[in-house]
Amino acid sequence: MIPLELNVIEPLGRLIARPWADVVTGMQVDSRRIDEGDLFVAVSGGEDFVEHALARGASAALVPTDEFAALAAIAGAVRERSKARVVAITGSTGKTSTKDILYALTAPHRRTIANEGNFNTEIGVPLTICRIEEDTELCISELGMRGPGQIAWLASFVKPDVGVITNVGPAHLALLGSIENIARAKAELIEALPPGGIAVVPDEPLLEPYLTRSDITVRRVDTTTPLPFDTSYTSKHQLQNTRTAVAVAESLDIPLPETLSVEFSKFREEERPLPGDGVLLNDCYNANPVSMRAALEHFVVRAGDRRRIAVLGDMLELGPGAPEYHREIRDLVRELGIEQVIAVGELAREYGGDWVPTAAEAAERLRAELRPGDAVLVKGSLGVGLAVVAENLTA
């Protein structure tokens, strides 16, 4: 982190500083991750861990008056001191994968940082911005959205130079009510761009009303031209994410490679071997109708001639139309000819197949059903907790 003076932090709450400290050089909210010189911000009951953070070498600890406001203020102070260009990515699906692909494209050519995993919330975004160093040239940050105004608020201290919208789809319908409202919330990122900023967007009619600014450059993602390089991954649904990342890279004058290798974030298309040349696709971080369809179609291709078992959890936050969205996935599963489904959660009853109420029971059912040479997909919303299924299977 660009060193930050303690007098910038002091007004944000109760500051406990080492006598010799006048700056901090990093920020953490988990005392176990403290390095020498860091600031520990005690959020979500973290006051109990102040002494632990100081013992691990923190220069100071802050018990904030308002934890989200404090994190935003600290991140904003770092951002103001930085000359790095910032790319902010939002969208209904594909944010994290697009970030991973873009990082792989830019890191060989620019001193680049990107958010860990899916650090895209009121806590994760400030942590990412506070990793900017004095020599950082590019910062890539996801911006998550759970309601109107959230992207605008995150962007207020991220101050993006490039705003990326991967797509607009039926995620968070329970909170926003309609696809049109989702598009409006995503478009807050476009409104946050400075004069001279760049908006990278899909061909999405719902976004068109928000693309009328004359003081920014709007770049629409090319969906017709083949990729100019080979990739280490083959899933069809990553093609659009890759094209989006390419559009951003080209906007930043990043040269493209002949071959691109990407390390995707945890719980996204993780592939693990199973006995008898079987294969596990662990994509259990999150799910909505668009990502579920993409995962199932990729699963069928990757499984080949293997027997296929899909462990599918609820798709959450879809509002009153949730049962119908789940029935559409049921129909897709039948159309794809997937031999067996283990459905997890109340909404997942609509998938058909073998139903269980919890992820733990799904893990037991899968172990009982699995044969050597099977292909398994694990996919569902984070709240269903399907990580335990994959962990149990490969332990």
CATH of the domain at 335: 3.90.190.20
234 and 334 in a common domain:
no
CATH of the domain at 106: 3.40.1190.10
Residue 99 forms part of a structural domain: yes
Residue 365 forms part of a structural domain: yes
Residue where one domain finishes, among candidates 260, 288, 320: 260
Best CA proximity match to 124, nearest among 95, 150, 144 = 144
131 and 10 in a common domain:
no
Has residue 269 got a pLDDT over 80? no
Q: Which amino acid belongs to residue 230?
A: D
Question: Mean pLDDT over residues 127-153, rounded?
Answer: 96
Best CA proximity match to 311, nearest among 233, 392, 254, 234 = 392
Pairwise CA distance, residues 262 & 112, whole Å: 15
First to last CA, the chain: 37
224 and 130 in a common domain:
yes
Residue 165 forms part of a structural domain: yes
Percent of the chain with pLDDT over 70: 100
Please state the pTM of the whole predicted model: 0.88
Residue 22 forms part of a structural domain: yes
Cα dihedral 324, 312, 350, 325, rounded to 10, equals 0
Count of domains in the chain? Answer: 3
For residue range 181-198, list pLDDT tens digits in order: 999 999 999 999 999 999
Has residue 215 got a pLDDT over 80? yes
189 and 325 in a common domain:
no
Q: 3-state DSSP call for residue 37?
A: coil
313 and 197 in a common domain:
no
Query: 375 with 306: CB under 8 angstroms?
Result: yes
Range of the domain at 25: 4-67
Residue where one domain finishes, among candidates 37, 67, 97: 67
Residue 241 forms part of a structural domain: yes
For residue range 225-249, list pLDDT tens digits in order: 899 999 999 888 899 999 999 999 9
205 and 149 in a common domain:
yes
Pairwise CA distance, residues 105 & 227, whole Å: 13
Residue where one domain finishes, among candidates 260, 283, 318: 260
Residue 73 forms part of a structural domain: no
Residue 176 forms part of a structural domain: yes
Best CA proximity match to 57, nearest among 31, 85, 88 = 31
313 and 255 in a common domain:
no
For residue range 15-68, list pLDDT tens digits in order: 999 999 999 999 999 999 999 999 999 999 999 999 999 999 999 999 999 999
Pairwise CA distance, residues 73 & 87, whole Å: 19
Question: Among 213-227, 259-273, 321-335, where is mean pLDDT lowest?
Answer: 259-273
Tokens of 145: 């959205």
Residue 108 Cα to chain centre, angstroms: 22
363 and 233 in a common domain:
no
388 and 330 in a common domain:
yes
The pairing of strands 112-114 and 60-64 is: unpaired
Residue 153 forms part of a structural domain: yes
| Overall size of the chain counted in residues | 395
